[in-house]
Amino acid sequence: MAPSNASSASTVEESTMPETDLSAVNDILEQHEYDQTELIAILLNVQDALGFLPPPALTHISEQLSVPLTEIYGIATFYTQFRLTPPGRHKFTVCTGTACHVRGAVQVVEEFERRLCICSGETTPDLEYGLETVNCVGACAIGPLVIVDDEYHGEMTTMKVPILLRRLERARAEVSE
């Protein structure tokens, strides 16, 4: 697992966070026989079940395993695989590998951050959009690359960012009509 370079500051207000069902957490703890040495696997399983690692789940894990909450948060913030905020309905993933980087990926990330008012690794307060970066997706020939949900968009520029956002907003408006 790769160390996380981004801070894990949450922009999601407590009132928008879904209520945590600890029964799923209990099932996972039982599967791992409440073994402290399986903490990372437990956290991964909880995240798979809940979509992220909500504070009540982390507190419950801490209590059940007798592991300090600070240690659990240390692990959850160190590894990039872990999310402390709910994922957005739409996920923007920007490749920042070498080929994408030299072609302007950093500016593309900054444009998403500016337009969405979040930093990489965060989710908008309405839980509509999430933004993350990855080191390489292996599509260097078409970089910078942005993956919107599961759709690849190559040769991305800062000028194309608002186009992607408008397209998602139009689709969102059509669904709500």
DSSP class per residue in 110-122 = HHHHHHHT--TT-
Each residue's pLDDT tens digit, 6-65: 333 444 444 344 566 799 999 999 999 999 999 999 999 999 999 999 999 999 999 999
User: What are the extents of the domains in the chain?
Assistant: 20-78, 90-176
CATH class, domain 90-176, is: alpha beta
Each residue's pLDDT tens digit, 68-125: 999 999 999 999 889 998 999 999 999 999 999 999 999 999 999 999 999 998 999 9
pLDDT of residue 66: 97
| pLDDT band at 171; cut points 50, 70, 90 | confident
Using CA atoms, how far apart are residues 151 and 30, in angstroms rounded to an integer? Answer: 37
pLDDT of residue 19: 62
**Helices and strands (H and E) in the chain: how many:** 7, 4
- Kindly report whether the global pTM for this prediction surpasses the value 0.75: no
pLDDT of residue 175: 83
* Cβ atoms < 10 Å from Cβ of 167: 11
Using CA atoms, how far apart are residues 76 and 97, in angstroms rounded to an integer? Answer: 23
CB 80 within 8 A of CB 3: yes
